[in-house]
Structure 1
Amino acid sequence: MHELINLAKIVTNRRLSTLPLVDFAEGHASKSREEELLELLVSGESLTNLQVAKRLYQSTSANSMAALRKLKQRLQEKLLNHLFFLDHTDLRHPAFRRYEQQCLDLLYQATMLWRESERVLLPQLLRKVVRLAASGEFTQQEISAWEMLRTLYAESNDYTQYQHCVKQLAKLYETLAVEREAQRINWDAKMKLVRSVVARRRLLQELPGIISKLESLYKQVPTYNVYDPLLKMRLMQQELSGNFEEIIRITTAAENLFAAGKLNPKRFDSRFTKFYSMYAHLRARRITEGLALAEGYLEAFHRSNNNWFAFLELYYLLAMHDGDYAQAGILLRRMQQNPFVTKIPLPAQQRWELMQAYLFFVRPAEARLRPLQFAQLVQRIPDHSRDKQGYNVAILILQFLHYLREGNKEALLARLEGLRKYEKAHLREASTLRSRLMFRLLQLTVKENFEPEASEKKGQALLARLRDTPPPGEAFAEIEIIPYENLWAQALGLLRELHAQQSN
């Protein structure tokens, strides 16, 4: 009871007269300005400061704008205070979050007790942090707790407990040093990955040494904080090499380790391996198997998280590669109807826009895209000056097929020159062979004066090479929203339609 009495006195004597929080309780006769502003912020409306001032104060005068600035500051401070009271129990969030947050919350409480000179409840809290942090392999938090205990026992002249703390800290400092080195290696590699295609090719040559170093560190300190970078570097190596079957094997092995209890359940998040596995199924052309897994895997992701959209993107591409355009349309609408769609970054928005345009091209009814929007997209010229690849080829191909469907030979001739220039500038590496072959098939239609039979016959050798060419690694890959083989079949169909129209 003594420790509870001390805590009650601390809180009673030191509490604030007014809590700096937003009052979310319902039933108020009237709302405060802060509550009104909060409602506007979460309404989803895109409002300027002037519009907000007009709503709140019915004025945009200098005084109203000054009042709005002060109101925003007050609300921001209160909302920041609410960060101490977020709900971390949702199982759809990363597994480690709620466990690490427990440690952080307890450490904060322990720090407050320390500053208030409370020494009865304090060691109980710190020992609890030690237990939780050790079970979750949160080394930094465990060190913080032991360091406070060390100081506590030094102040109380408890030599035995002090020495115990010193020994524990010595081990943890060594562990943390190895974990930090593993994390540094991981982040250094990731930064090289996002720089440029040239840097990524160089990284591919360095990865065997990086993985060997991480394996050595893991033998030295077999904690999850070292295993996680090792797993990610192994996956990165296979991804850059285009060895997607090996990625499926690695992710399956990780899932098996987890099922066998050999990976920390408070740290391992199977959504990461599920995502990579689905990506590998797409790139390895194991479409049927991937689709069989996709819906169940998607349920593991929270709809508010960007990873949900990223996974749905893979699911959509699997459906497109399977030729199941009805399913692709359903997935597209699920993306559009998700209330958190406005949160996804601009590159992701642009990818979805392009994928929707491809669906419109093959199945307009499923895409539900206005023709004007489609026309605007296909007329967009990719930026060829950057040292990157990704969707430029997809845009160029879509442009060509669009003009082929329209029978616009003048535009096709212009696109033909664009294909040649892009191929010469960006498709010289062996890893771009599939895109080069697709370009040459499209160029063939112009050379053969848009004759379907001649184009099909003379394209057989190129098509055979295309079928025999596996997709390259992600570092060098152009994304095939619809497999090039299927797009060539679409092109031949358009040629036949064009030929039939000209014959009538």
Structure 2
Amino acid sequence: MAALTEAPEATQLQVVKALYGKATAANMRALQKLQSRVRSKLLNQLYFLDHSDPRHLVSRRYELECLDLLHKVSILYAEREYKMSEHLLQRCLRMAETGEFTQYAVQSARMLRNLYAEQRQPIQYKKITKVLAKHQQVLAWEDEAEQLYTDTQLALSGTVAARRAVLSVLPDRIVQLEALHRRAKSFGTYNAVYRARLAYEELQGNYQEMIRVTAAASRRLRDGKLNARRFDIRFNHFVSIYAYLRSRQPVQGLRLAEEYNRDFHPSSSNWFYFQEHHVLLALHAQQYERAQQLMVVITQNPAYLIQREAALQRWDLYKGYIDFVLPPQRVTTARQKQLAQMVLQLPEYSRDKRGHNVAILVLQLLYFLRERNLEAVLLRLERLRKYQQRHLYEPTTLRSRLFLRLLQLIVEKNFDAPQAAERGKTLLQQLRDTPPPGNAFAEVEIIPYEHLWEIVLGLLREGPPIINDMGA
């Protein structure tokens, strides 16, 4: 175990050699058996995890209590311990009904029905049969709602074309979900309606409505009109600050993010998603030092390096922007060169219209403007022009197109900051007047384009780019 702790990236062959000295077939089989035993022991520890921390998904501990009772009943029933089985099943049924875990209510009621039939208790049998029928009907409605929502969710995780197709059918799906909720009046159907509405408003770029929906949900929870054992307040927080970010209200969003931060456990993957928008809010609010402080906390999280590669690349991109916009005296020349190399090595993302291509090329352009490298600046501007022609032709990409037209002005005006600023006034006002599009179609603005334009002009005031020997 010490060898694995010291070198977690070690290959299986290296582990065999470290443990047994030689990498023989017998030693490989011995390692596989060892891995199996260790895995079993680790799985056994799952029973002792503490789920009571409110920063985890609130429903988890109540759901696991139901599962624990059902597991115990299964053993007791097999041992023909009917009295205790009945007691635990009644308890599980009450718990499932309180938490609106309809599937466990059905399971408990079904087992009770079978128990009463076997014990020849007709009065109890008839009572529980009615309870079972009621929960089965609710479960059928919940299953239908879940199917509609998961179909939508799957399409939303697909291509831009798939997301556009969902946008056209979502209103009808929401009507279907609302009808199911009126029948079931359960948390499961409510949650499907609530999340489908948020998805629809996001696709349209209607972020003010998203703020209204999340605020209304918070009030309903506070007033006891939502099941406190089921409603995921963390998701509501996340959507709320995301909507503030996209609706260009970063100061208010940042204030809420600082408040909501306490509701996310650092061991949860949701913590990283929340912190990603926390950092973006700080950047959009031009609180760059706060963004840097957040990045220190984030990168020190033990789970940071085990995120998906795409997530790690996004963090690299955010770090690149943060390190660039901090005051020059805070960054040494050597550090600037190191960061420039990191920026150049950032991989290109999907050629999708909602990718990070513009953000990567703009960050590279900023570094070369600071280095005053004319050849590299012109190369990045040409890449941005080609990217615009190939990918930024939809009405929903207007903000990106306006910003790239501003960048082209710096060449037209021979890198003269006052002339570029004067010539770009109309475009800049158009940019300010253009709201961000829906998430299905947007290029990510790590720093708002309006702020980036001011940064570009500031770099030009320090001096225009010149021909030098530095490679692009």
Which of 421, 426, 436 is matched with 1:471 structurally?
436
After superposition, the C-alpha distances for 1:164-209 in whole angstroms (9 at most, x for unaligned) are: 1211111111100000111111100011111111111121121111
Which of 275, 295, 313 is matched with 1:312 structurally?
275
Paired residue type of 1:441: L
Q: Is contact 1:382–1:395 with CA below 8 Å preserved after alignment?
A: yes
Paired residue type of 2:446: I
After superposition, the C-alpha distances for 1:448-486 in whole angstroms (9 at most, x for unaligned) are: 221222211111111110111111111111111111111
Instruction: Give the % identical residues.
Output: 46
**1:421-440 correspondence runs (5 A):** 421-440=386-405
Tell me the residue number matched to 1:460.
Answer: 425
In structure 2, distance between residues paired with 1:425 and 1:367? 36
In the alignment, is residue 206 of structure 1 matched against residue 172 of structure 2? no
In structure 2, distance between residues paired with 1:44 and 1:182? 47
Which of 156, 167, 172 is matched with 2:135 structurally?
172
In structure 2, distance between residues paired with 1:383 and 1:90? 37
Q: Which moved more, 1:75-84 or 1:232-241?
A: 75-84
Structure 2 gaps, min length 5: 468-472
Tell me the residue number matched to 2:341.
Answer: 375
In structure 1, distance between residues paired with 2:215 and 2:57? 19
Q: Is contact 2:372–2:466 with CA below 8 Å preserved after alignment?
A: no
Give the superposition deviation at 1:88.
Answer: 2.1
**1:77-226 correspondence runs (5 A):** 77-226=40-189
Q: Is contact 2:54–2:263 with CA below 8 Å preserved after alignment?
A: no
Paired residue type of 2:73: A
Q: Is contact 2:58–2:232 with CA below 8 Å preserved after alignment?
A: yes
Structure 1 gaps, min length 5: 1-36
Give the superposition deviation at 1:374.
Answer: 3.4
> Cα RMSD between the aligned structures?
2.0
SS at match of 1:146: helix
Give the superposition deviation at 1:77.
Answer: 2.3
Give the superposition deviation at 1:328.
Answer: 1.0
Count of aligned positions: 464
Tell me the residue number matched to 2:206.
Answer: 243
Which of 299, 315, 318 is matched with 1:336 structurally?
299
After superposition, the C-alpha distances for 1:408-428 in whole angstroms (9 at most, x for unaligned) are: 222222222211211111111
Q: Which moved more, 1:92-101 or 1:414-423?
A: 414-423
Tell me the residue number matched to 1:414.
Answer: 379
| Alpha carbons of structure 1 residues 124 and 42: separation in structure 2 relative to 1, 3 Å | farther
| Alpha carbons of structure 1 residues 295 and 111: separation in structure 2 relative to 1, 3 Å | same
In structure 1, distance between residues paired with 2:331 and 2:301? 16
Give the superposition deviation at 1:366.
Answer: 6.6
SS at match of 1:498: coil
Q: Is contact 2:279–2:291 with CA below 8 Å preserved after alignment?
A: yes
Q: Is contact 1:242–1:472 with CA below 8 Å preserved after alignment?
A: yes
In structure 1, distance between residues paired with 2:111 and 2:138? 19
Tell me the residue number matched to 1:28.
Answer: none
Q: Is contact 1:146–1:165 with CA below 8 Å preserved after alignment?
A: yes
In the alignment, is residue 252 of structure 1 matched against residue 219 of structure 2? no
Paired residue type of 1:491: V
In the alignment, is residue 394 of structure 1 matched against residue 359 of structure 2? yes
Paired residue type of 1:214: L
In structure 2, distance between residues paired with 1:303 and 1:188? 30
Q: Which moved more, 1:174-183 or 1:194-203?
A: 194-203
Q: Is contact 1:153–1:161 with CA below 8 Å preserved after alignment?
A: yes
Q: Is contact 1:182–1:226 with CA below 8 Å preserved after alignment?
A: yes
Q: Is contact 1:357–1:367 with CA below 8 Å preserved after alignment?
A: no
Q: Is contact 1:326–1:366 with CA below 8 Å preserved after alignment?
A: no
Give the superposition deviation at 1:130.
Answer: 0.5
| Alpha carbons of structure 1 residues 425 and 125: separation in structure 2 relative to 1, 3 Å | same
- TM-score (norm. length: structure 1): 0.88
Q: Is contact 2:353–2:443 with CA below 8 Å preserved after alignment?
A: no
| Alpha carbons of structure 1 residues 264 and 433: separation in structure 2 relative to 1, 3 Å | same
Tell me the residue number matched to 1:18.
Answer: none
Q: Is contact 1:329–1:367 with CA below 8 Å preserved after alignment?
A: no
SS at match of 1:474: coil
Q: Which moved more, 1:46-55 or 1:246-255?
A: 46-55
Paired residue type of 2:182: K
Give the superposition deviation at 1:58.
Answer: 3.9
Paired residue type of 2:337: P
Tell me the residue number matched to 2:470.
Answer: none
Paired residue type of 2:447: I
In structure 1, distance between residues paired with 2:320 and 2:400? 19
Larger CA Rg, structure 1 vs 2: 1
In structure 1, distance between residues paired with 2:54 and 2:13? 40
After superposition, the C-alpha distances for 1:12-70 in whole angstroms (9 at most, x for unaligned) are: xxxxxxxxxxxxxxxxxxxxxxxxx4x65566732222332333334434333221111
